[in-house]
Structure 1
């Protein structure tokens, strides 16, 4: 009798959770009406897990009505599954050399620098961008890195500090032409690193960014302004290949991010490589979401992409290996 009661309560709780996931699924499409609804656009993999569990348990106990949960499940999967599908274009006629880039959010609250420095020392990258760089972090990096050197930095005690690292022995086929700190939009207090490289026989312009976190209606609106400014920046690079990498504080299936991709004419390097969640790094992977991204011009192909080790930050590192088409 007691066991039956526990099972009944468990089924009820699961169906209540599935109902909540269904409501959140629908409200997530209404992000244009409220910043809070826009937040509901992000945990779609978690909605899927809840809905699948409800369908399976309902099937076991022959609750035919539980298959209603397949409707919101399909809506969520329609947005997520394209990340597992490779681009339609065939990867051919690629031009050497490859360009390997790593993006790392250090987390200014992370006081243990050992994990991050050990991770950096094991990497074979042409370019490394760091976010949330404080003066303390910068001092430890300068003192302990042996394979990379800091070429551009703007440490800050809030979450806005940035830095760019290059290998001590860089590739001879890739050359840095210019690097500067910019702001998008121009009145933003968030520094972005823009660097131009000679890559093969053409130039590529790379932008490292960290967009504001949408915590309320004001910050959510400003994130949209930032995305519009970055999209305009991308379109202004029409004479060069462009790469944008960093913490977008947005998932790839969200309406806001998909609209940005369309407007900027950039491709998501994550396409064909699956979810690769990056935040919150301290949680089990099934509770995390991907908010750190690398986007690039259509003339560029992603050969490899992944997330790095947990370095004590709330974000996992992201690394990409890119090549250009001839």
Structure 2
């Protein structure tokens, strides 16, 4: 065996052992920073495992091919379970439909005008617009939307704010602090055409960039579960950048504690420069309560952010 081939083989074995160790640890120990990073990258790990199995087969490393297949089965089981527990789309029932456009607008230069231009061009398809990480450039452009979406809430801060625009009347709207962590969420209740109340909790959860941030994000999720359990509005939803994937224990715990549903689809929204949906990470979500069905969900065009927008159509029962 040549020296280059030996080095390559050792490199592949180290990579495989690291990936396997992280996956095993993630299933044995919940709510650690390393665990969170692992489950957030479940899809890329699955793809890399397939690639490593093919490499080991070429190198005739049968033991590692066998071990790789076992790891692949474990990763596939996690993805399959998450898919099975999700809510399928309901396209044939009758009821009032609402389409929501949500976007983490972490802007590129000149992106504010591009975003508002896109919304104006496609506004006939949209009932609700929820934007996050608004900077002064975008905020100045948002004034143009008020003629199309007559009901809105747009804070007066300078950066990283959120805005909510609606074609349907807003009955109540406020920015509320979390109970146990700093930062806030947007709480908006609208009245639908049929006179039903629909509550939106708009969030941008803490990014788990460090162990401390992971603790704060999980505390925010716990707060949200308590908030929704106290809600007097029958139909409600949480939407925004959760900074978590559906494979995370924290995400599954929020679903269970708040009695919410998530759609049976992979809506990869980050990073926006990757063209293949399956390779992008699903961190922008819209979760709904009982009494609300998913009709469709997909990402929109790559407008002017490191995220892609997410468009979801729901039906109220």
Q: Please tell me the TM-score bracket, short chain as reference.
A: 0.7 to 0.9
Structure 2 vs 1, CA of residues 247 and 195 (structure 1 numbering), >3 Å: closer, same or farther? Answer: same
Structure 2 vs 1, CA of residues 307 and 259 (structure 1 numbering), >3 Å: closer, same or farther? Answer: same
> Which position in structure 2 is the counterpart of 1:97?
96
1:296-307, aligned counterparts within 5 Å? 296-307=288-299
Structure 1 consecutive aligned stretches of length 4 or more whose deviation exceeds 6 Å: none
1:25 correspondence with 2:26: no
Contact persistence 1:103–1:319 (CA under 8 A)? yes
Separation of aligned partners in 2, 1:151 and 1:238: 22
> Which position in structure 1 is the counterpart of 2:130?
129
Give the Å deviation of 1:114.
3.6
1:189-228, aligned counterparts within 5 Å? 189-198=183-192, 200-228=194-222
Contact persistence 1:112–1:312 (CA under 8 A)? yes
Instruction: Tell me the SS of whatever aligns to 1:53.
Output: helix
**TM-score normalised per structure 1:** 0.84
Separation of aligned partners in 1, 2:105 and 2:52: 38
* Correspondent of 1:185 among 166, 179, 188: 179
Give the Å deviation of 1:242.
1.1
> Which position in structure 2 is the counterpart of 1:154?
155
Separation of aligned partners in 1, 2:39 and 2:243: 12
Unaligned regions of 5+ residues in structure 2, if any?
A: none
> Which position in structure 1 is the counterpart of 2:12?
14
* Correspondent of 1:39 among 31, 37, 40: 37
> Which position in structure 1 is the counterpart of 2:48?
50
Separation of aligned partners in 1, 2:233 and 2:117: 38
TM-superposition CA deviations, 1:57-80 (whole Å, max 9, x none) = 323444321220122222222222
TM-superposition CA deviations, 1:40-96 (whole Å, max 9, x none) = 221111111111111123234443212201222222222223455585779488342
Structure 2 vs 1, CA of residues 202 and 266 (structure 1 numbering), >3 Å: closer, same or farther? Answer: same
Contact persistence 1:155–1:162 (CA under 8 A)? no
TM-superposition CA deviations, 1:141-181 (whole Å, max 9, x none) = 2247864456210143332x011123xxx4xxx54322222
> Which position in structure 1 is the counterpart of 2:282?
290
Contact persistence 1:28–1:39 (CA under 8 A)? no
Separation of aligned partners in 1, 2:273 and 2:151: 28
1:317 correspondence with 2:313: no
> Which position in structure 2 is the counterpart of 1:80?
79
Structure 2 vs 1, CA of residues 86 and 305 (structure 1 numbering), >3 Å: closer, same or farther? Answer: farther
Instruction: Tell me the SS of whatever aligns to 2:213.
Output: helix
Separation of aligned partners in 2, 1:257 and 1:27: 18
Structure 2 vs 1, CA of residues 113 and 128 (structure 1 numbering), >3 Å: closer, same or farther? Answer: same
**TM-score normalised per structure 2:** 0.87
Instruction: Tell me the SS of whatever aligns to 1:196.
Output: strand
- Number of residue pairs matched by the alignment: 313
Contact persistence 1:176–1:198 (CA under 8 A)? no
Greater helix share, structure number: 2
Contact persistence 1:96–1:200 (CA under 8 A)? no
Contact persistence 1:134–1:155 (CA under 8 A)? no
Separation of aligned partners in 1, 2:52 and 2:127: 46
> Which position in structure 2 is the counterpart of 1:165?
165
Structure 2 vs 1, CA of residues 310 and 92 (structure 1 numbering), >3 Å: closer, same or farther? Answer: closer
